[in-house]
A and B are shown apart, each in its own frame.
Chain A
């Protein structure tokens, strides 16, 4: 029982940054933009988030710093791909490289420092319930926010006009432009939003997951988040399932290592990444006959004709 609770808690913790980053990227891709810089934005969010929390003593300020850092990185990406019609793949890679380096610079001074991590919820009776108590009612704010975020995104995309316009832009930017919608502005807002989410996801790591910062602590989660969006067929609902699935794989390999099964630790560590490859292959295969579920203008450069 205790084991189950412990595992579930760690799965949720591992899944949350994936969910936050993937949710943001989902909105970005729905608008037709492919931002490969998620890893860079996340690691910047981690570095700035930790720095902010350490300096101010407040996790909330730290989280805010992470969000702003992610959005700022995203702004650079937007300027290049939307303002100057630069190839999105190259820009995303540049963003990742820049983010990784910059976060190392910023975070260097904070390595080895500790902060008080984000507090966890404690409701009088509910949190102490056996088995599900802590799982449902004892999480930190990031976890609850991540669920709320996904619900919010779903409502936005499918129940509001703004969401309809965004989906339209992602489907056919030429038609959207002909109808008078500001395609570039909508995409820019989506990209900034995605950056903010990635920054928050990164900030989660040193603020709640572990109470310290290590350079490169995102360890490829940003890339996994990108894979998650594909796995979820660009639908918010399936994103939750995917994120928790990947979180579970990450945790299970840690526990398997602890069990001393004689399997080399490196093999276990590479499981999440191998799993990603396998999932991508399976997903793309099943969709093959029905055509891609991706937004039709994903990654296509848009320059309004004058």
Chain B
């Protein structure tokens, strides 16, 4: 007996909606088993991870804070991935954006600069991310080099670069030798929105990005181009779209969004530049993008969900001594299940008996 895949005549809308829910359910079951293996009570663990963070307003705020960079980066990545352009270097673009934006903060630190500083920082951050992302894009367009590998290698480079700056030229002279810049001035800080919470204006930016992306993909010719290049590259060429130009565009946009997320994160919740401003946002955003099915609203929901798991993970580490790595495991497993379930939208599984083992046909 064998399982065979059969292409459906049309995509199944039922599965398209049910798929992420099934994937989440399967993941929860798998994780519960893992908890049990680790010697923890599965129900209690799931409760700490997923339910408790939702019960406390401060926690909810933290979820929003964590989701903000995830959603922004993931939206940018989704534009690339829809077109089959694989930007894996969002983490590096995030860091470089943080660096280029912080440059202005460090320069004007302690001076009496005006309110133009923060907007300028944001622009610099986005610009830095975009330019850094154009490196792998140009390598691909001009030289045919795989963007997957080049964009990823540049993540390591960005990491080292930022490390150097924070330990060297930009280190706070009054900071007791800690590898961090001075605390940013108020004009260089992203304002918070509510009292008693770290939720900041960056979340509004993220929401705006989600709405813009929805309009772009669904209603504009640019969105059509992105979707077409991913769906049928030859037809895209026939339609008059230039694939190279699209590579540059999507990389630049996703780099800008990642860089923007970077500087917002640094100038907001963190408040200064230090080596570990990112717990792997750039990589988690990849999961968010896929979990959200490369759809802006889906990404918003997925971003919130994964942010929940980050917070849950932190709580679990303290409350029930579960290592933080479990969060990564959870995210990896979730991605696997999402991909698997999504396959069923396009294909159907059939059982074929042994006597038909070699029965292949196309009419």
Q: Do A and B come from one complex?
A: yes
Task: Give A contacts to B, CB under 8 Å.
Answer: 36, 76, 80, 83-87, 89-91, 93-95, 97-102, 104-105, 108, 177, 180, 215, 220, 223, 226-227, 230, 264, 266-267, 269-270, 273-274, 276-277, 280-285, 287-288, 292, 303-306
Nearest residue, chain A, Cβ from B156? A273
| Interface of chain B, main secondary structure | helix
Q: What is the interface size of chain B, counting residues whose CB is below 8 A from a CB of the partner?
A: 57
Chain A residues near B38: list those with CB within 8 A.
105
Other A-B pairs, 6, CB within 8 Å; known A85-B343, A86-B339, A281-B139:
A80-B340, A90-B290, A97-B328, A105-B323, A269-B160, A276-B149
Chain B residues near A303: list those with CB within 8 A.
5, 7, 347
Nearest residue, chain A, Cβ from B333? A98
- From residue B242, how far is it (CB to closest CB) to chain A in Å? 18
Give Cα A108–Cα B325 distance, bound, in whole angstroms.
9
Nearest residue, chain B, Cβ from A305? B362
Number of inter-chain CB pairs below 8 Å = 157
Is A227 in contact with B361, judged by CB distance below 8 angstroms? no
The answer to the question of B115 belonging to the interface, with a C-beta cut-off of 8 Å to chain A, is: no
Task: Encode contact with A along B316-359: 1 for CB under 8 Å, 0 otherwise.
Answer: 00000001111111111101100110111011001010000011
- From residue A48, how far is it (CB to closest CB) to chain B in Å? 14
Chain B residues near A80: list those with CB within 8 A.
336, 339-340, 343
- From residue B169, how far is it (CB to closest CB) to chain A in Å? 10
Task: Give B contacts to A, CB under 8 Å.
Answer: 3-7, 38, 86, 88, 139, 143-146, 148-150, 152-154, 156-157, 160-161, 163-164, 168, 283, 286-287, 290, 323-333, 335-336, 339-340, 342-344, 346-347, 350, 352, 358-362
Give Cα A104–Cα B148 distance, bound, in whole angstroms.
24
**Of B3, B153, B339, B362, the contact of A90 (CB 8 Å cutoff):** B339
Is A226 in contact with B149, judged by CB distance below 8 angstroms? yes
Nearest residue, chain B, Cβ from A77? B336
Chain B residues near A230: list those with CB within 8 A.
146, 149
Is A264 in contact with B164, judged by CB distance below 8 angstroms? yes
Is B360 in contact with A305, judged by CB distance below 8 angstroms? yes
Which 3 pairs of residues, A with B, have the shortest CB-CB distance? A101-B328, A98-B332, A104-B325
Chain A residues near B153: list those with CB within 8 A.
220, 223, 227, 273-274, 276-277
Chain B residues near A36: list those with CB within 8 A.
148
- From residue B192, how far is it (CB to closest CB) to chain A in Å? 31
Is A104 in contact with B328, judged by CB distance below 8 angstroms? yes
**Of A274, A276, A306, the contact of B360 (CB 8 Å cutoff):** A306
Known: A230-B149, A284-B145. A277 touches B339 (CB 8 A): no
| Interface of chain A, main secondary structure | helix
**Of B88, B323, B362, the contact of A104 (CB 8 Å cutoff):** B323
Q: Which of A100, A226, A266 has the most CB of B within 10 A?
A: A266
Chain B residues near A223: list those with CB within 8 A.
149, 152-153
**Of B146, B154, B283, B343, the contact of A86 (CB 8 Å cutoff):** B343
Is A108 in contact with B323, judged by CB distance below 8 angstroms? yes
Give Cα A230–Cα B145 distance, bound, in whole angstroms.
9
Chain B residues near A89: list those with CB within 8 A.
86, 148
Give Cα A260–Cα B123 distance, bound, in whole angstroms.
38
Known: A84-B347, A94-B335, A104-B323. A280 touches B149 (CB 8 A): yes
- From residue B8, how far is it (CB to closest CB) to chain A in Å? 12
Is B146 in contact with A264, judged by CB distance below 8 angstroms? no
**Of B139, B152, B161, B359, the contact of A270 (CB 8 Å cutoff):** B161
7 residue pairs A–B, Cβ–Cβ below 8 Å: A85-B346, A97-B335, A98-B328, A105-B329, A180-B358, A270-B161, A288-B143
Known: A86-B342, A100-B328, A102-B332. A280 touches B6 (CB 8 A): no
**Of A83, A177, A220, A288, the contact of B156 (CB 8 Å cutoff):** A220
Is B343 in contact with A84, judged by CB distance below 8 angstroms? yes
**Of A85, A269, A280, A282, the contact of B347 (CB 8 Å cutoff):** A85
Chain B residues near A266: list those with CB within 8 A.
160-161, 163-164
Is B88 in contact with A101, judged by CB distance below 8 angstroms? no
Chain A residues near B283: list those with CB within 8 A.
97
Is B88 in contact with A270, judged by CB distance below 8 angstroms? no
Known: A80-B336, A280-B139, A306-B359. A267 touches B164 (CB 8 A): yes
Nearest residue, chain B, Cβ from A283? B145
Chain B residues near A98: list those with CB within 8 A.
328-329, 332-333, 335-336
**Of A91, A95, A280, the contact of B145 (CB 8 Å cutoff):** A280
Chain B residues near A269: list those with CB within 8 A.
160
Nearest residue, chain B, Cβ from A93? B286
Give Cα A101–Cα B336 distance, bound, in whole angstroms.
14
Nearest residue, chain B, Cβ from A106? B325
Nearest residue, chain B, Cβ from A294? B146
- From residue A183, how far is it (CB to closest CB) to chain B in Å? 10
Q: Which of A36, A180, A226, A270 has the most CB of B within 10 A?
A: A270
- From residue A273, how far is it (CB to closest CB) to chain B in Å? 4
Chain A residues near B359: list those with CB within 8 A.
306
Give Cα A102–Cα B325 distance, bound, in whole angstroms.
7
Chain B residues near A84: list those with CB within 8 A.
5, 339-340, 343-344, 347
Nearest residue, chain A, Cβ from B329? A101
- From residue A84, how far is it (CB to closest CB) to chain B in Å? 4
Chain A residues near B287: list those with CB within 8 A.
94, 97
Chain B residues near A108: list those with CB within 8 A.
323, 325
